[in-house]
Structure 1
């Protein structure tokens, strides 16, 4: 039951994120006098709608996105283009069909309220407002968690001790195989709750520094710990073993191995810490989006039954399922589960921001790039005293937009199938 409740809650959160994104476009478009005829969450057949003034607000059947419909997205043909010989090339037909469809929405009384007529900086604000609404939501959620709840920070206190040495390459790293040697920490007598104060004669108060010292050591090393009210010196015989790299967790390296895990405490961050953390999230998100094409073979393999990696791309269905699993985790508190779900929702909004800012149509970033190009072109014309070249005709890019859309649809379907037949799971 908790899994189902979690899926529903997270799914609703995703829909609200989409609605929040489109609200940014809607408010700024109306602020600059652009007529908006529709504000919709979802695609396909309309499930519910209500018209207020000039805008129809509603929800559609397929909840995988949303849109607002602004009149006059494309400028009309310039006068000199009417005298040219008509072309029956498919790309030319796409351009003219898109232009005609946009022109049909414009009535004489609204002729002055078309999107393309607005100055480039206003169009940039309208198109950037959607992604920035997602960024604002992500920042608010992350900041609220980091400053109000805190983020886990590892300490030098031992949380658990590995019973044996299991290679990082082993399929099952949680259980000891037959004949596996004791870990150096277990052999030396470490216990959960021990606080490491000295390692190899040097004091340590930071787990990060202590971890680097452990990885750089081998052989007999004295370790001073606080256990209750007394200090003990434990003699550990560190080995060299293959462990995940700290810089690239998907790769391994041979380092010193002791065999213990640190406990963690919640530490609230200040504004500078929040800014640094969120900046790292943005950079990581951008990196993952750039890597999306490389994930296609993994997704196809996962659909074929092979193991799916934990960092595999997921869609709305997969993300909702993960949200359901998080809410059903019995081993953590209800508060921690809700915090994890909020972190996931913030990460989704951060992804929506980065993805939509890519400078390709039909994404918001493509329209922003077109407005920037128009502004630059007009600025150069004014500087060299040439006639105003007029608005940039984004309709000419519609064949490219259709191609990109088909790629997005195909990728989304691939992810959807993988989420259904071989989902990323936390359990």
Structure 2
């Protein structure tokens, strides 16, 4: 057995494990569970952290204000130090469109030990719960997320009917430009490999994750898990929040969305690069060892099959060609459902090795920026590696 064929066989074994042992990550059927409507609708407050979001608010905020919710609901937008008039624009949109009542807060710069988003959420949640009637649920949603008119209604119904403390939907990201079509479906697919939705949704499984763009959270779970203070330093705040809820005994659910979409454009590769690189090294716990393992794994799993197939055919190594071809077939087969979900051409599956190399570059760049003191940078803020604060993620 040649070295190439041995490596190809290892790659095939890796794909066999992903296919059979990683919670059927490739399935895209995790949608909101059955949700008969409750007899009485609980109070809900929507909390929107927003920093320099004037470009997307005219599309996203009216969709929240127009929610067709039978109970009492309101919106709290937390202007996190914006310099583009985000807060004033939000008030103007509320006056223009009407709908749910809107309150705009501006809490000031985050205290040491807090990320900006979680600092904003802290103040938004505190404001939401400051009245005499404490809401039963909070909808935490990003400023670039647009919701279908029945989004809040269906989220609450699903949570109530299934006894869920956290219901999160992975918003459908934009795939208009070539780079978005190349990178975005793979981004969600990789996320599903790390956090298989079916496993997340199993109460007995330890795997926990959420998609931060759309998280319905019970206030009872907030109190039990000590949120958001318990995860105040988390750069990957959605996953940390879900872990805190599950560890405190709460039930969580994560799935793909139909009527929840991101309106933020990423037309250039540089835009997508920054989006991924800002948190990639944090996902690896700032560990050089995990970084090395990730780089090796990306090459072994996503690049080796194509190289082995081509080199095996050209070099007369049938075992390398067969193992590489089989691994590539499994890789493409598991990616096609995500491409269908995003309504993208199945031919993009042939470019997965290129996409993987891009993610490899983004991950390495994330580590380089961290050691240069510019890691986890986003919208003018740089977050250091978490230090003394307890890790609840």
Larger radius of gyration between Structure 1 and Structure 2: 1
Q: Which band: TM-score by shorter chain? A: under 0.3
Greater strand share, 1 or 2? 1
Return the TM-score normalized by structure 2.
0.25
